[in-house]
Amino acid sequence: MTAPEAETASGTFPAAGLVAGLDPTPPAMAVAAEPAAPAEAGESFADALAQYEKSHKKTARQEGGPAQIEATVISLSADQVFLDVGYKIEGVLPRSAFDNNAAKVEPGQRYPVSITGRNEEGYYQLSRFKVAQPTDWTALEAAFAEKLAVVGTVTAVVKGGASVDVGVRAFMPASRSGTRDAAELEALVGQQITCRITKLDTTEEDVVVDRRVVLEEQAQVEAEGRYRSLKAGDVVAGTVRSLMPYGAFLDLGGLDGLLHVSDIAWTRIGKPEDVLSVGQKLDVKILKIDPETRKISLGLKQLQPEPWETAAERYQAGQRISGPVTRVAEFGAFVELEPGIEGLIHVSEMSWGKKVRVASDMLKAGERVDAVILGIKPEERRISLGLKQTLTDPWSEVAQKFPAGSQVQGPVTKIMAFGAFVQIAEGVEGMVHISEIVADRRLHHPSDELHVGQVVQAQVLALDTAKRQIKLSMKQLIPTSIDEYVAEHKIGDKVSGRVVEVSPAVVELGEGIRATCRAGAGSPSEAVQATQGKADLSSLSTMLQARWKGAAPAPNAKPEPLQAGQIRSFKIIALDAGSKQIEVELA
């Protein structure tokens, strides 16, 4: 059943708010209203209500009606305060309309309020502003002089604005209606609004009203109350008002707060619009309120568990993980293990063999990779990752593949002043010192003989797998006179040689050919030893001519101890072509 609204001294009372069988007369107005005639038999409830409204309307106009009424607090919710305004339906005020967000408001307390309309839920909308309900020009002049808000009803949309009944016909410009477009202005027709008289000409009967200024004042008061009620740590509801590259501004009910892009989520976000949209409603946490600038900093990720707090429970050193590369820097690449947790692959951990100088040479943003956790420090929010550890370490088999003395081949990868690096396997390089490149001359720089990319052969001199170092020699593979000597002789051959060192004994068998001697003193001598006096030069000359021919010692030679400069007869007891080693003993 739809019934006309009953105009009261302090607001409107729609029949939709009544319940059949209940006395429709508001308790607060029972004395002021004229008694209605008894309903005759068969009279409908609608007729009785219409008779009440008629009499009530007459009384209100005759007496002028109160500008405000005393309302009693009934209960409080998280956002609103419910008050008894003397009607069947309660009125509501936002908590922000009271000091400290209504922290000290309790049921039973009374406050002066004005009724400004009805909300979508059917409750009376109240205001703590003093609102007048003029019924004649005198009341209008008083309200205009005191700059009081007045209650009026929008009757029609006209050119440039709307017509409003405030006891007389008034004009409200569209720009001062508080609406954003023509549709919203049209929706006000038939509704009761609160406005302020900005122009009053009784002679011309010209009245202009402004609704927007009242709305702004009310919003300012509510915002101030809202601001005083907020504190760091509170969780509040907000609506995304606008998006910027650095974050999002949220409407907190008349107040703006900034949700910085770094506080939207634990994971890295490029742009706020990637995860938020204008008009979206969010629950956020107040991180900080600046009392000087009144700026409010908000956080969304703070309502979710911090992933680093439990990271040590999910990730350990040696664990293999997989994730996308989120960003690449010169020194390394960041990989997302889960939202909010990233690990770093340093350039030194990207390849066993390739010298990576810039991470972008190996990885690109968005690429998915497998890696091994090398270390984790949750307190520093750091996880070190290794890319090369997912592959077999080529150095693990170097000792078996390239023992000392073995021959290797590979390209020259780099030349330095002290030598050249040669790649002998994927991920394995050895170094040829400048002194081990050639045997017949001294080089000023390795580039005198080698160039990058040149394929060379070398011999492994020594290796240290712990330090990942291999020493190579190229000159060891170049044929020399000792190679020819070894090729022409065999174990057991008797040869002549000159003693060049005594302890340990070293014998020169030919130019540049030396052998170690195991012999002691006492072997027969075929040489003419230099004495403290004059040497027998003719005998010495004969012996020097014969030493390379392996001449036998004289039968009557007496054994003498080895002395430097002696020419003696020796027997070969060991020949090693690979190491170019010869061992002899006195024959």
Q: Which domains does the chain have, with CATH numbers?
A: 6-63 (no CATH), 69-127 (2.40.50.140), 131-216 (2.40.50.140), 230-303 (2.40.50.140), 309-390 (2.40.50.140), 394-477 (2.40.50.140), 482-586 (2.40.50.140)
3-state DSSP assignment of residue 101:
helix
**How many of the other CB atoms lie within 10 Å of CB of 227?**
17
**What does the pLDDT read at residue 67?**
55
**How many of the other CB atoms lie within 10 Å of CB of 402?**
19
- Return contacts of 435-444, CB within 8 angstroms, 24+ apart: 436/461, 436/471, 436/472, 436/473, 436/474, 436/475, 436/476, 437/474, 437/475, 438/474, 438/475, 438/478, 439/475, 439/478, 439/480, 440/478
Secondary structure of the chain: what % helix, strand, coil (to 5)? Answer: 25, 35, 40
**Number of residues assigned to the chain:** 587
**What does the pLDDT read at residue 558?**
56
CA separation (Å) from 365 to 145, 332, 342? 69, 11, 13
CA Rg value for the chain? 53
pLDDT digits (tens), the chain, 587 positions: 333 333 333 333 333 333 333 333 333 333 333 333 433 434 444 454 444 444 444 333 333 334 578 899 999 998 899 999 888 889 999 887 787 778 889 999 999 888 877 888 888 888 877 776 677 788 888 889 888 888 888 999 999 999 999 888 999 999 999 998 999 999 999 888 889 999 998 888 899 999 999 888 888 877 777 788 788 998 988 999 999 999 999 998 778 999 999 999 888 788 899 899 999 999 999 999 998 888 999 999 999 888 888 888 899 999 999 999 999 999 999 999 988 899 999 998 988 877 788 998 889 998 999 999 999 998 888 999 999 888 878 888 888 889 988 999 999 999 999 999 999 888 888 999 999 998 778 889 999 999 999 999 999 999 898 888 999 999 888 766 777 788 888 999 999 999 888 888 899 888 778 899 985 544 433 333 433 334 444 444 555 555 545 445 555 555 578 888 888 889 999 988 777 789 999 88
CA-to-CA distance for 153 and 141, rounded, in angstroms?
18
**What does the pLDDT read at residue 242?**
93
**What does the pLDDT read at residue 364?**
92
